[in-house]
């Protein structure tokens, strides 16, 4: 499989050293809470008309933070989580009871049969995103749905992306084009976390101008990324409240003009 040229060349698809840091903050951090609220709202509509026993897979389930949401929403279906790294599975097992599978999307372990596949902030970690989208298409049942989120806009690239081993960030048009090129019909796609966009954009520009670490070490990059996960409790609660309203709009089908992330729902074309 030949990879398309990445925007940046990370050392690997992910650094499992971050699992413990993520596990410690995911339950209360506004970003993860808002994303999970959005996923729950959209997913509940996606599965509402499915017959009991439908199959749902999360690819890149990590510490199980979002997989727990899938398990709760899809109580009349069969939910499964897959991740490349074993290191995250002990954390995930503390949160979910569903099956967990170690698997690599470069050698997909499943055949067609999933009504819904979730890919939440994972596609940006993979060098050949088009091939991954094709492989996920093959894993979906006829008419099945791919539900995904990705970080938005190359202009927001920062040390956090580098520490997270991202290959790219996506503009909405780019993501829509790649989905359509790989056999999907885009049902809904929009930026979200628009409330954060001005703050994130300014923060990225200031960091770029300051250029404090033109060539930071791996340890320094990890330190900077962990610092970004730390937040004053009051600010965390305010942002959680603000994003609650935004989540409601997106879940109802609104398309926002910009945001720090992109969410998409795409169906397997016949």
Q: What is the CATH number of the domain that holds 199?
A: 3.40.50.150
pLDDT in tens, the chain (270 residues): 233 333 444 445 566 777 888 899 999 999 999 999 999 999 999 999 999 999 999 999 999 999 999 999 999 999 999 999 999 999 999 999 999 999 998 888 888 899 999 999 999 999 999 999 999 999 999 999 999 999 999 989 887 787 778 999 999 999 999 999 999 999 999 999 998 888 888 877 776 665 555 555 666 656 666 677 788 899 999 999 999 999 999 999 999 999 999 999 999 987
Domain assignment present for 10: no
Q: What integer pLDDT is reported at residue 229 of this predicted model?
A: 77
How many structural domains compose the chain? 1
Is there a contact between 100 and 70 (Cβ–Cβ < 8 Å)? no
Domain assignment present for 113: yes
Query: In degrees to the nearest 10, what's the CA dihedral of 165, 167, 168, 174?
Result: -140
- Which residues, in sequence order, are bridge partners of residue 78? 55
Q: What integer pLDDT is reported at residue 180 of this predicted model?
A: 98
Q: What integer pLDDT is reported at residue 39 of this predicted model?
A: 98
Domain assignment present for 7: no
Q: What integer pLDDT is reported at residue 11 of this predicted model?
A: 42
Q: What integer pLDDT is reported at residue 263 of this predicted model?
A: 98
Domain assignment present for 133: yes
Domain assignment present for 263: yes
CA distance 233 to 28: 9
Domain assignment present for 5: no
* Beta strands 114-120; 140-151: pairing state: parallel
* Beta strands 261-268; 184-192: pairing state: antiparallel
Q: What integer pLDDT is reported at residue 91 of this predicted model?
A: 97
Q: What integer pLDDT is reported at residue 12 of this predicted model?
A: 57
Which range marks the domain in which residue 140 is found? Answer: 16-268
Domain assignment present for 65: yes
Domain assignment present for 8: no
């Amino acid at each position: 499989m030949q990879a398309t040229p990445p925007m940046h060349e990370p050392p690997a698809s992910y650094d499992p050293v971050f699992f413990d840091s993520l596990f410690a903050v995911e339950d209360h951090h506004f970003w993860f809470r808002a994303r999970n609220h959005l996923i729950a709202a959209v997913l509940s509509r996606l599965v509402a008309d499915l017959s009991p026993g439908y199959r749902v897979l999360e690819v890149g389930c990590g510490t199980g933070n979002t997989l727990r949401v899938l398990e709760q929403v899809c109580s009349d279906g069969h939910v499964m989580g897959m991740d490349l790294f074993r290191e995250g599975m002990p954390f995930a097992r503390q949160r979910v009871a569903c099956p967990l599978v170690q698997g690599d999307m470069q050698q997909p372990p499943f055949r067609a049969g999933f009504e819904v596949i979730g890919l939440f902030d994972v596609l940006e970690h993979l060098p050949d995103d088009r091939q991954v989208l094709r492989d996920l298409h093959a894993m979906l049942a006829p008419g099945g749905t791919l539900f995904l989120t990705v970080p938005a806009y190359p202009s927001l690239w920062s040390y956090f992306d580098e520490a997270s081993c991202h290959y790219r960030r996506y503009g909405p048009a780019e993501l829509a084009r790649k989905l359509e090129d790989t056999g999907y019909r885009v049902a809904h796609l929009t930026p979200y976390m628009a409330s954060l966009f001005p703050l994130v954009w300014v923060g990225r520009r200031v960091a770029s101008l300051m250029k404090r670490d033109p060539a930071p070490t791996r340890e320094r990059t990890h330190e900077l990324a962990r610092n970004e996960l730390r937040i004053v409790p009051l600010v965390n609660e305010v942002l959680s409240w603000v994003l609650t309203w935004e989540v409601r709009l997106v879940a109802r089908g609104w398309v926002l003009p910009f945001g720090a992330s992109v969410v998409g729902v795409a169906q397997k074309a016949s």
